[in-house]
Amino acid sequence: MSGPLVNVRIATAVDVAMLIELRAHLLDGTHASYSARTPAEQARWRAAYRSWLGGTLGTNDNVQVLAAEHRESGQVIGCATGIIDARAPSAANVNGLSGWVQSVVVAPQWRARGIARQLMQQLLRWYANREVATVVLQATPGAEGLYRALGFEPSHEHLLIRQEARE
């Protein structure tokens, strides 16, 4: 097969179930601080994410949820989310627009084929078109090489997280 394996497009309500399943690769049973550790936690984040997607897809201009759709099967096999917030301007970011990349996931059987790179390149074009000069993400060890190749560098700043106690 020649050409790209996937078509990267804006996600729609039809994609919600698959977006949840893809995101579960990051949020269910990992050692990350944001990981769901029990079936009850899994059910809670899934319901909350479904609701968030329902209120966000096609309605929030500062959020872009992308789906990587397999060109032959039409199945969504990857996704990525970009969020833009307005922060106080700084010397490095005078318009204050800051991008956050979240939930870049490719189904395990489709990894290492350039799909995450395609998703990221489309998100980075979206940010550039919106004049977002600062883009931040949290990388898994396996994805760090990709992000470095796309120009991301460690910030050498300490990220501290405060999370409310889990029920």
Confidence band, pLDDT 50/70/90 cuts, at residue 136: very high
Place of tokens 């990349």: 101
Contacts 24+ apart (CB under 8 A), 55-64: 57/11, 57/12, 57/13, 57/16, 58/10, 58/12, 58/13, 64/10, 64/123, 64/126
DSSP labels for 117-131? Answer: HHHHHHHHHHHHHTT
3-state secondary structure of 107: coil
113 CB burial (10 A radius; 0-12, 13-18, 19+): middle
List the domain boundaries for the chain: 6-14+62-149
Number of H helices, E strands in the chain: 4, 5
Q: Tokens for 155? A: 């910030």
Over the stretch 11-49, which tens digit does the pLDDT of each residue have?
A: 999 999 999 999 999 888 677 777 788 888 899 999 999
Residue pair 67/8 in contact (Cβ under 8 Å)? The answer is yes
Q: What is the pLDDT of residue 1?
A: 44
Q: Name the CATH topology of 6-14+62-149.
A: Aminopeptidase (3.40.630)
Q: Tell me the pLDDT tens digit for each residue of 79-110.
A: 999 999 999 999 988 999 999 999 999 999 99
Q: Which of residues 51 and 34 earns the better pLDDT score? A: 51
User: Which whole-number Å values give the CA distances from 118 to 54, 87, 160, in the listed order?
Assistant: 25, 27, 30
